Amino acid sequence: MANEIVKMVAAKANLSEPIAQIAVDTVIKFLKGKLPPAVGTTLDTLLSSGSKTTSTTKKSDNPLGDLGNLAGTIGSILGKK
């Protein structure tokens, strides 16, 4: 999944993939530093697992896919609605 995000950032921001990789790595590092360790571990698992998940929930219409769902879950944990 991380490669998909890098390609998306590169395309949307008109960046080379190596520069987009740096941007994505920076954001991931920032998030992991701000989130509880268990969520950081889940984020690592999600990013390394590719685009397929083992969840039985229906596919979201979220344009960010599973990463968007994770962001929503994190927001709920942190008390945002």
Residue spans of the domains in the chain: they are 2-77
Distances from the Cα of 63 to the Cα of 5, 19, 31, 36, 69, angstroms: 11, 22, 20, 25, 10
| pLDDT (mean) for 69-80 | 61
| Residue 22: per-residue pLDDT | 94
pLDDT confidence tier of residue 43, bands split at 50, 70 and 90: confident
Check whether 21 has a pLDDT greater than 90. yes
| Residue 17: per-residue pLDDT | 94
